[in-house]
Amino acid sequence: MGLFILRRTGLMLLTCLCLTFVVFFLTNLYPNLEKLAKSQGNVRMTDAQVASWLENRGYDRPMPVKYGEWLGVVPGWTYQNQDGDTLGRCVSITRDAETAPRFCGVLQGWWGQSTVFKEPVASVVGDKLGLTGRLMFWVMLLMVPSALVLGVLAGMREGSTTDRTLSTFAITTTATPEYVSGVILIAVFTSSAVGLKWFKGTATSAMDNPTFENFFLPVLTIALYGMGYIARMTRASMAEVMTAQYVRTARLKGVSFPNIVMKHALRNALIAPFTVIMLQFPWLLNGVVIVETLFNYKGFGWTLVQAAGNNDIELLLGVSVVSVIVVLVTQLISDIGYVYLNPRISVT
């Protein structure tokens, strides 16, 4: 087991390395750098000015060297400007050329400076991740149990009226994109058009002080979309298990219907949807972009959009690393959880 986790961690690091290099390569293409220079400096800069702006900030050197600097295996760049001040990658941390360390990269714990937010990447990512984490937590809390209940109720009597009603509901919610359901929910529950002013149409205040009133709608919008999907999976799995021979065995042993569902079918039926539920985490992390924008909730997805739109290289890299870790860690948990649910797969 320990070895398994170790191997998975190794795999995770390797994936991070590959992915960040790809992101690094793409964001450091010259047109992107030019765009960065113009958006950060002056839109009407001449080509010569762009070149010198890039030189001043260490963007003009070979790609592998720059990537090495970001990693922290190559000494950070320094540059002497006309005033005699020493600028450099590491100097910007301490603001003093003398005490600045020679290496400053991810390995040293420095994730770089966000060009959009003018803040260290680590603190931007940390803050926003916290906000989205809170959103995710409540979404999961609402989505998973209700989806499972929905799926099990629908699947235990395949083809019944309950099944058809619940399935229709599940398909409808999944088939409605968040930007549609979000707008409908806002229109119904917050505007004076309908008159139900139960919730707030914006979640900006929820960043500091989340309440049921300002936070419920974004949570519901995401949960509705994901719920239908999980419910469909659970239903299919449950319906299959209910026709399995061992369920017939249980029935012909004289076990009552509620006990068949609870004791014999449920655990077997949860094996398949469990993987799907774990796959929802990475989706939530990035898929919330629309909802965060819609409700003006400045979380991780919103940050990603900002970073990508402004070619904020180091912020993008940070976001990529976090995403890879979230994906792989949830998959690790999903694999381990699978072993506990399914006795046919053993750890030893």
Give one word for 224, left, alpha or beta, with left for phi > 0 and alpha for psi -120 to 50.
alpha
Judged by CB under 8 A, does residue 164 bind other proteins? no
In sequence order, the 6+-apart residues with CB closer than 8 A to the CB of 11 are 328
Check binding of 246 to other proteins (CB under 8 A): yes
Q: Does 20 bind other proteins (CB under 8 A)?
A: no
Note whether 264 binds other proteins by CB under 8 A.
yes
Q: Which stretch binds other proteins (CB under 8 A): 49-57, 210-218, 245-253, 287-295?
A: 245-253
Please tell me what DSSP assigns to residue 80: E
In the block, residue with structure tokens 């992107």: 32
Q: Interacting stretch for other proteins, rule CB under 8 A, among 77-85, 138-146, 201-209, 265-273?
A: 265-273
Residue 113 pairs with which residues in a beta bridge?
120
Report the nearest approach of other proteins to the CB of residue 270 (Å): 9
| 1 makes contact with other proteins (CB under 8 A) | yes
Closest approach, Cβ 263 to other proteins, in A, equals 7
Q: Enter the DSSP assignment of 86.
A: E
User: Cβ closer to other proteins: 109 or 159?
Assistant: 159
If one asks whether residue 116 binds other proteins (CB under 8 A), the answer comes out as no
**CB-based contact 330:132 (threshold 8 Å):** no
Residues recorded for the chain: 348
Site for other proteins contains 159 (CB under 8 A): yes
Q: What span, in angstroms and rounded, lies between the C-alpha atoms of 106 and 99?
A: 19
With CB under 8 A as the contact rule, which of the stretches 2-10, 17-25, 289-297, 298-306 interacts with other proteins? Answer: 2-10
Do 235 and 165 touch, CB atoms closer than 8 A? no
Residue of the chain from 44, 161, 252, 258 that contacts other proteins (CB under 8 A): 252
- Quote the least distance from Cβ 264 to other proteins, whole Å: 5
Part of the chain binding other proteins (CB under 8 A), chosen from 21-29, 143-151, 201-209, 261-269 = 261-269
Q: Cβ atoms within 10 A of the Cβ of 142, count?
A: 18
Residue spans of alpha helices (H) in 1-120: 2-27, 30-40, 47-56, 63-71, 91-94
> Footprint of other proteins on this chain (CB under 8 A)?
1, 3-4, 7, 159, 244-246, 248-256, 263-264, 267-268, 271, 335, 339, 341-348
